[in-house]
């Protein structure tokens, strides 16, 4: 089943494609150039004729949502996304503290990059099940945004962890303060993720290491967190 997961790499952020008998499911939709990177990745894997049936979001930041409306329209795909980020899909939303800087940058970027607002067909809450070949369960991991959510595949013991952290070898790190809507919730979300039975994690900002290595890096970062 692991061969049925495809990572689409772009210069700034990656996203994932899951394939089952019903077609393809996108986990996030990438940033600038993401549609072209997706098309080429599908051709390389031989999936170019598979229908894209759905788009499942980890959160509402622009680098994950820029292409959602376009891809949903072109492929007739449904959209499912965390409920607590609903304002962000409409091009709104707010952050606290230093996170306001990131919010202002997004506000500038949306019209410049051609962001199209959208309304998800389904709003996701913690614990919701998403029907796929490997089965996914929503795991609410707030802090980066209000609704930031990971998706856990119990059969593979893998967590698609969105932007819980960035995994780049010795430069692995948690998201900078200017990108976090509610930083006070980040530590609890990391501990919640690591409480799962995990063989690996799949971050959106990461190098080509195996999921097990990304998990090791996350555990190292978690050891540095302030208890509580």
Predicted confidence (pLDDT) per residue in 116-168, tens digit: 999 999 999 999 999 887 789 999 999 999 999 999 999 999 999 999 999 99
CA separation for the pair 189, 192 (Å, rounded): 5
Tokens for 213? 């290595």
Kindly tell me if the per-residue pLDDT of 62 is higher than 80: yes
Share of the chain above pLDDT 90, in %: 77
* Percentages of the chain per state (helix, strand, coil), in multiples of 5: 35, 25, 40
Share of the chain above pLDDT 70, in %: 96
Average pLDDT over residues 93-98: 70
Q: Is the CATH number of domain 2-222 3.60.15.10?
A: yes
> 182 or 165: which carries more pLDDT confidence?
165
């Amino acid at each position: 089943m692991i061969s049925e997961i495809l990572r689409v790499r772009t210069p700034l952020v990656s996203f994932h494609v899951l394939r089952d008998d019903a077609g393809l499911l996108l986990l996030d939709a990438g940033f600038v150039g993401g549609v072209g990177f997706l098309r080429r990745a599908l051709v390389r894997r031989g999936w170019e004729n598979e229908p894209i049936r759905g788009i499942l979001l980890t959160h509402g930041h622009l680098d994950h949502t820029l292409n959602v409306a376009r891809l949903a329209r072109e492929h007739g795909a449904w959209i499912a996304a965390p409920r607590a980020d609903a304002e962000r899909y409409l091009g709104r939303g707010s952050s606290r503290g230093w996170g306001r800087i990131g919010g202002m940058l997004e506000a500038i970027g949306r019209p410049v990059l051609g962001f199209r607002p959208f309304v998800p067909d389904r709003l996701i809450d913690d614990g919701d099940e998403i029907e796929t070949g490997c089965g996914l369960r929503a795991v609410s991991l707030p802090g980066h945004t209000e609704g930031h959510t990971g998706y856990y595949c119990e059969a593979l013991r893998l967590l698609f962890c969105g932007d819980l952290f960035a995994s780049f070898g010795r430069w692995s790190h948690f998201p900078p303060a200017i990108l976090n809507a509610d930083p006070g919730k980040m530590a609890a979300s990391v501990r919640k993720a690591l409480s799962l039975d995990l063989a690996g994690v799949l971050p959106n900002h990461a190098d080509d290491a195996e999921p097990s290595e990304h998990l090791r890096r996350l555990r190292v970062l978690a050891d540095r967190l302030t208890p509580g």
